[in-house]
Chains A and B, each alone.
Chain A
Amino acid sequence: MGATRDEATGLWRPEGCVLDLGQVLAVATQTNAAHRAMGTELLGLERHGVTLGLAWREDLVDVVGGGLANGVLATLLDHALSLAVWLSVNDENNGGATMGVRVDYFARTEPRLGVHVRAECVHRADYVAFVKGTAFHPDRPAAVLAMGTATVAKQP
């Protein structure tokens, strides 16, 4: 059967996903003020993961290198990692609290290019979920700019 198109949001619903996709879209892009302010977009959902995107913005640049700042990647990765746990847990009222996030910076971002971040839940234990994700320029998923990993405490 595979993914089905959600009329209200235009998102593809992964097979088996029972979440309200309107709520997922709201949490990804609207109710989180930091991401509403940055203009974070929800690009895609997987059964255990998400892809977020951010268009180039010259006010989010690091003077060294002239591309989007490390902090922008960290903020996007943190959010995507947390959302990936929610998708994986697949329970409306059961997100989690991020305990820690590590970001490895492979390369400087290029000026005038946006970024995409894809995250997936790697393992869920009783109380903790483990997630990993990567940041890359659109259309260049193989050229990883940064890699993020996080531990997320699930709600009991």
Chain B
Amino acid sequence: MTTIDELIAASPYYRYLGLRYGPAGTVVLPADPRNIGDHTRSVLHGGVLAAFLEAAGSLHLRASGAIGAATIECSTDFLRAAPVTDTTASVTVVRRGRRVAHLRIDAWQDDASRLVAVAHGSWLV
């Protein structure tokens, strides 16, 4: 089984985002001003957050044996503006069938009870 660290190291785009493995199976998007979307408010770009949550879902599945897991769709709700600080994503497997896995991904910054974004999606496994 490949670890999330090894999967990040092997994938150029995950390295580009600077993703790293966090505590308790989480994935962390480190603070980087390069990910700012709105320069007037210095908050992270929603598109980067959507990319991060989808990446966390893919990494979770690939690290648990579905090495070629392919996203079918992923829907992200932006709950509040996210300042430039470390963002953590935690993946919940809603259901994993033989062909398709349904995931929910929560993202927060300093306070795990204050989500900045939440995503749900389905993956071919």
Which A89-134 residues sit within 8 Å CB-CB of chain B?
A: 97-105, 108
Q: Are A62 and B11 in contact (CB under 8 A)?
A: yes
Q: Is the CB of A72 within 8 A of B51?
A: yes
A-B contacts, CB under 8 A, total: 121
Q: Does B55 contact A (CB under 8 A)?
A: yes
Q: How many positions in chain A have a CB within 8 Å of any CB in the partner chain?
A: 35
**Is there contact, CB below 8 Å, between B16 and A103?**
no
A61–B77 alpha-carbon span in the complex (Å): 25
Q: Please tell me if the beta carbons of A59 and B16 are within 8 angstroms of each other in the complex.
A: yes
The residue of chain A having its C-beta at the shortest distance from the C-beta of B77 within the complex is A100
Partner of B75, one of A35, A76, A79, A102: A102
A1 within 8 Å of B by Cβ? no
Q: List, in ascending order, chain B residues with CB within 8 A of A63's CB.
A: 7, 10-12
User: Which of these binds chain A: B20-28, B65-73, B100-108?
Assistant: B65-73
Bound CA span A78–B52, Å: 13
Q: A33-B33, A62-B11, A62-B13 are in contact. Are A78 and B74 (CB under 8 A)?
A: no
**Residue A31 at the chain B interface, CB threshold 8 Å:** yes
Whether B34 pairs with A34 at a CB distance below 8 angstroms is: yes
- Expressed in whole angstroms, the Cα–Cα distance for A33 and B34 within the complex equals 5
Task: List residues of A (51-99) whose CB comes within 8 Å of B's CBs.
Answer: 58-64, 68-72, 74-79, 82, 97-99
Given known pairs A78-B50, A101-B76, the reply for A70 and B71 (CB within 8 Å) is: yes
A150 nearest in chain B by CB position: B46
Q: A-contacting residues of B (Cβ < 8 Å)?
A: 7, 10-17, 33-39, 45-48, 50-52, 54-55, 58, 62, 67-78
The 6 A-B pairs of least Cβ separation, nearest first, read A71-B51, A78-B47, A75-B47, A69-B13, A102-B75, A34-B45
Footprint of B on A, CB under 8 Å? 31-35, 37, 58-64, 68-72, 74-79, 82, 97-105, 108
Given contacts A69-B14, A101-B75, A102-B76, 18 further A-B contacts (CB under 8 A): A32-B37, A33-B33, A33-B36, A33-B39, A34-B35, A35-B45, A37-B34, A63-B10, A70-B51, A70-B54, A70-B71, A70-B74, A75-B45, A75-B50, A76-B47, A78-B47, A79-B47, A103-B54
